[in-house]
Amino acid sequence: DRPMERPRRLFARKPHVMYWVEHRNGFFYVGTNDAGAFNFEIIELPVDVVISDDLPHAQQGRVVLRHSESIYRINADPFENYFVVYEQSDCHRRIRVVEVHRQQQVDLERDYYYHEFSETCFSFTPGNLDDPFGTMCRDKSHCDYSSDVLTYTYTSFTQPKTVYEFDLKTRSQKVVYRRHVHGFDGSAYESKRLFAEAADGARVPISLVYKKTTQFPAPAVIAGYGGYGVMKEARFSSYRLSLLNRGFVHAIAHVRGGSEQGRSWYDSGKLMHKRNSFTDLIACAEHLIAVGVTEPSCLTIRGRSAGGLLVTAAAVMRPDLFKSVISEVPFVDVIVSMSDPTIPWTAYEYDEWGNANVEDQYEYMRSYCPMSNLKETEYPNFLLTTSLTDTRVQFWEPAKFVAKLRATRRGSNLLLLKTYLEGGHFARVRSLMYAFAIATAGRLPRNPLARNNLSS
């Protein structure tokens, strides 16, 4: 209500401290990981408060939602009568709805209920992400502060993107938009959540989907990322149906380095704990084999960028475990890239991977860097992709890796490098990747036009 005033700083920047801020009725509501609240707590501050940079934020306001070691508070949306908090626990998202109209003072730990979801493997985002006309809020759950309706976009392995309006008062919801996929019947597919036990005892979630007629053990593609705290969530893909309809299982390994189980899950998969990401993926593959979902002879792992490092490092550590590897724009020359601050992104990435110019960090990176650990042995089939215009992972990283692997490996498995001339870091051709997975799993159909007798 004072648009001509200069903006003022709310908090000073502090290393490793993050914030998100919302406003309601003369108060700021700040989600922060300050003072050890790694999964975030929410603090109420008057809008005219003068913040001291020397005191923890919780001592300068009122904590309205305390930190929890098992519940990750992702973000929040305040309404006039309700306060919505988006949470994640044990790789499962949910919505906390607090009826603040019942309260004299906002307390997000009482007068609340949870809006739960019926599926185990899904993704939701506040707002309408599929509105082609811009008539609704694209990235917010509501445009009207006084509204009692929460808008969100939902998708899962078996449900295309759907926009819901959820009535916070009556707790009912309706579909306002659903993306149509011609010929798709979600009831023909099944999704579930499994957990693998890592080498140190951590429970690593696995989300998977397959057609109900699939015969096990089946060919499988395990995807993973495991970096920057990014959550690799279960979403619908019409492209993926070409694999599922051929009897494949699609799985996501929610390895450490993402935030699927809170910020500690991220912290335990970065810097001097990065090897956990790779051993988690190996544990997930071993678990799917042990329970009869798939076999090493038809198991493909797939990742891009940091996920390309994930799958490549896992294959270098355990080449016997996988049939094929699809590694897109992979960060595979870790030592060289993290030693040269003139390369774009390198200095910015020190907090994620470490600085190879520091001896103990160099030695740790060297223990998992794919370029540094190739040896004379038989490796799985490899398809690597890169782009000449990629400024995040330069094209010479996968090119050098392919050259060294070609000179080092034994056997005659496929080793392919696809270089895109444009498209940058996000260049890709899904049909190439799917054809590679199908072919190396031995699932290519016979060509009905091929002649049985070439002499005829």
50-59, 114-123, 155-164, 208-217: range with lowest mean pLDDT: 50-59
Residue 326 has pLDDT above 80, yes or no: yes
Return all residues near 331 (Cβ < 8 A) that are at least 6 apart.
Answer: 305, 306, 308, 309, 337, 393, 397
Residue 134 has pLDDT above 90, yes or no: no
The one catalytic residue in 259, 305, 324, 387 is 305
Mean pLDDT of 326-331: 97
Q: What is the pTM of this model?
A: 0.92
- Hey, what are 269's tokens? 């998969």
Contacts by residues 409-415 (CB-CB < 8 Å, ≥ 24 positions apart): 409/374, 409/376, 409/377, 409/378, 409/379, 410/376, 410/377, 410/378, 411/378, 411/379, 413/378, 413/379, 413/380, 413/381, 413/382, 414/324, 414/381, 414/382, 414/383, 414/440, 415/381, 415/382
The one catalytic residue in 34, 107, 280, 390 is 390
Give 313's pLDDT tier (boundaries 50, 70, 90): very high
Q: What local confidence, expressed as pLDDT, does residue 59 receive? A: 76
Q: What local confidence, expressed as pLDDT, does residue 10 receive? A: 85
Give 345's pLDDT tier (boundaries 50, 70, 90): confident
Q: What local confidence, expressed as pLDDT, does residue 406 receive? A: 97
Mean pLDDT of 414-430: 93
Q: Quick check: is 425 catalytic?
A: yes
Mean pLDDT of 246-260: 97
The one catalytic residue in 92, 115, 273, 425 is 425
Q: What local confidence, expressed as pLDDT, does residue 58 receive? A: 66
C-alpha torsion sign, points 319, 321, 325, 330: negative
Across the chain, what does the average pLDDT equal?
A: 91
How many angstroms separate the first and last alpha carbons of the chain? 86
Residue whose C-alpha is closest to residue 429's, from 419, 415, 438, 439: 419
Q: What local confidence, expressed as pLDDT, does residue 456 receive? A: 31
Mean pLDDT of 221-233: 96
Give 222's pLDDT tier (boundaries 50, 70, 90): very high
Percent of the chain with pLDDT over 70: 93
**∠ CA(97), CA(232), CA(333), 5° rounding?**
145
Mean pLDDT of 145-168: 95
- Hey, what are 203's tokens? 């429970």
Residue 268 has pLDDT above 60, yes or no: yes
Residue 51 has pLDDT above 80, yes or no: no
Three-state DSSP at 145 gives coil
**∠ CA(191), CA(206), CA(201), 5° rounding?**
150
CA separation for the pair 37, 32 (Å, rounded): 7
Residue 455 has pLDDT above 90, yes or no: no
**∠ CA(84), CA(90), CA(92), 5° rounding?**
50
Q: What local confidence, expressed as pLDDT, does residue 451 receive? A: 42
**Running DSSP on this structure, what letter comes out for residue 446?**
P
Residue 450 has pLDDT above 50, yes or no: no
DSSP-assigned beta bridge partners for residue 44:
29, 62
Give 207's pLDDT tier (boundaries 50, 70, 90): very high
Q: What local confidence, expressed as pLDDT, does residue 351 receive? A: 93
Please write the tens of the pLDDT for every residue from 275-301.
999 999 999 999 999 999 999 999 999
For residue 295, count CB atoms less than 10 angstroms from its CB and return exposed for 0-12, middle for 13-18, buried for 19 or more: middle
DSSP-assigned beta bridge partners for residue 300:
221, 324
Q: What local confidence, expressed as pLDDT, does residue 227 receive? A: 96
Q: Quick check: is 305 catalytic?
A: yes
Residue 245 has pLDDT above 90, yes or no: yes
Q: What local confidence, expressed as pLDDT, does residue 140 receive? A: 58
47-56, 60-69, 283-292, 360-369: range with lowest mean pLDDT: 47-56
Please write the tens of the pLDDT for every residue from 400-419.
999 999 999 999 999 999 99
Please write the tens of the pLDDT for every residue from 77-112.
999 999 999 999 889 999 999 999 989 899 999 999
Give 165's pLDDT tier (boundaries 50, 70, 90): very high
Q: What local confidence, expressed as pLDDT, does residue 136 receive? A: 44
Q: Quick check: is 141 catalytic?
A: no
CA separation for the pair 78, 98 (Å, rounded): 9
